[in-house]
Amino acid sequence: MSSKPFNAFAMAQAQFDKVAELLGLDQPTRDLLRQPMREYHFSLPIRMDDGTMKVFRAFRVQHNDARGPGKGGIRFHPQETIDTVRALSMWMTWKCAVVDIPLGGSKGGIICSPHSLSMREQEALCRAWVRAVARDVGPVRDVPAPDVMTNAQHMLWMLDEFETIHGGRYPGFITGKPVGMGGSRGRTEATGYGVVFTLREALKELGIRAQGTTASVQGFGNVAQHAIDLYQQIGGKIVCVSCWDEGDQQAYTYRKKDGVDLAALRKIADRFGTLDKKKAVDLGYERLPGDAWIEQDVDILIPAALEHSITDENVGKISKRVKLIAEGANGPTTPEADHVLQERGIFVIPDFLANAGGVTCSYLEQVQSNMNYFWEKDEVLGKLDVLITAAFIAVSDMAKKRKLYMRDAAYVIAIARVAQACKDRGWV
């Protein structure tokens, strides 16, 4: 980990400033887009199971809604900060724009550790968060979704609270709901599958057959598990995964050189994607330090955990064999590390394109909820593949045409679209 304090929002703004310069944006547009339009900070008093009261800090940031209602997850994390939420809301704006869906960018967070909260306490937190922001969210204003350490159950509690307050049924208020309660089939797989849809297209472009390639994955949560699943289906081999260990308060990497067995690992993982150390070793996995995933001699790296994972301090450890990095996580690569990857000619599929499968499927869920008509899983994943593949091709074409790094090309497309929407509305 880098010793310098990391500020995700400063990084998001630096990325924006670079592209604003490339696009020659005027000053009012820059001023509008480099800050969120609205942000909410609230204190949530919760009665705990032992009868005591505890106050939790929580946020909702709405970065920009020129292209449609805000869209973005709500995360439960003990190290959550307002700057991380601001950065994520900004990245959501670009993510919706790059895949060309009619939504803007938002994000929410509660500073808490769900590992140490009972289900009743988590429910109380979900309902309190909705009560705090109920007037400023909704199907036509701002649509939340699950994120780090939140799931379909949390979304359903939030939906129930929102509907109780507004006196009606509004399934389009929130996405990531359980199937049968307004959730979309295919939503669970969507982000991980989206990563592999872009990976498949990138391999085609590099003239590499997916069969026989090897990859190392950071993370073993929902995104990582479904990315591993589809990547193995197209013939790839995963040699290691890493995950956070709550008990030891550190991450570990689990390696098996002849390929990991996804089904076996799923059996020894908890609902947060943490593997049982002893059982993993019993299954023949080597247990290595948490950052060992980045040093593996593989063709592909898939960072699919948290932001700030590839930094100027560890980028030099990436094997010379690595040809491709698919960013399943949000903001995993710092600008300094990006510079090194660009110089080395490693093909990077930027986060807000690679992991846009989640928000794209959330958009499909929202459409289904609003019209109260639901599609079969194959139809959802088929639509997802079409949207993600079209977005990848547009970014790749832009990169070639303007001789840009993939991340810059994706930003150029996304920021130009949002800037144009602000201009067309007469905001700038």
Distance (Å, whole) CA 170 – CA 31 = 34
Q: 70-77 and 38-47: which strand pairing?
A: unpaired
Q: 300-303 and 214-218: which strand pairing?
A: parallel
Task: Enter the tokens of residue 51.
Answer: 């009868």
292 phi and psi, to 5 degrees? -65, -20
pLDDT tens-place string over residues 48-94: 999 999 999 999 999 999 999 999 999 999 999 999 999 999 999 99
Distance (Å, whole) CA 312 – CA 181 = 45
Distance (Å, whole) CA 357 – CA 145 = 13
pLDDT band of residue 1 (cuts 50, 70, 90) is very low
| The pLDDT of residue 21 | 96
- Look at residue 6 and tell me whether its pLDDT is greater than 80: no
- Look at residue 425 and tell me whether its pLDDT is greater than 70: yes
* Higher-scoring residue by pLDDT: 110, 148: 110
pLDDT tens-place string over residues 209-253: 999 999 999 999 989 999 999 999 999 999 999 998 878 888 999
Distance (Å, whole) CA 352 – CA 359 = 10
pLDDT tens-place string over residues 15-31: 899 999 999 999 999 99
Q: What 3-state DSSP class applies to 347? A: strand
- Among candidate residues 244, 240, 233, 148, the one with its CA nearest the CA of residue 199: 233
Distance (Å, whole) CA 291 – CA 273 = 17
- Look at residue 2 and tell me whether its pLDDT is greater than 50: no
Mean pLDDT confidence for 111-118: 94
- Among candidate residues 301, 327, 319, the one with its CA nearest the CA of residue 214: 301
Q: CB within 8 A of 326, min separation 6: which ones?
A: 195, 196, 198, 199, 202, 227, 300, 301, 302, 349, 354
CA angle 310, 313, 314 (to 5 degrees): 50
Distance (Å, whole) CA 189 – CA 179 = 13
Q: Catalytic annotation on 257?
A: no
Domains along the chain with CATH numbers: 38-175 (3.40.50.10860), 188-349 (3.40.50.720)
pLDDT tens-place string over residues 364-418: 999 999 999 999 999 999 999 999 999 999 999 999 999 999 999 999 999 999 9
**H or E element at residue 340:** helix 335-344
pLDDT tens-place string over residues 30-40: 999 999 999 99
Active-site residue, from 4, 54, 95, 107: 107
Distance (Å, whole) CA 66 – CA 425 = 8
- Look at residue 3 and tell me whether its pLDDT is greater than 80: no
- Look at residue 304 and tell me whether its pLDDT is greater than 80: yes
Distance (Å, whole) CA 152 – CA 103 = 21
- Look at residue 284 and tell me whether its pLDDT is greater than 60: yes
pLDDT tens-place string over residues 132-187: 999 999 999 999 998 888 999 999 999 999 999 999 999 999 999 999 999 999 98
HSE-CB at 395 with a 13 A cutoff on CA atoms is 34
pLDDT band of residue 4 (cuts 50, 70, 90) is low
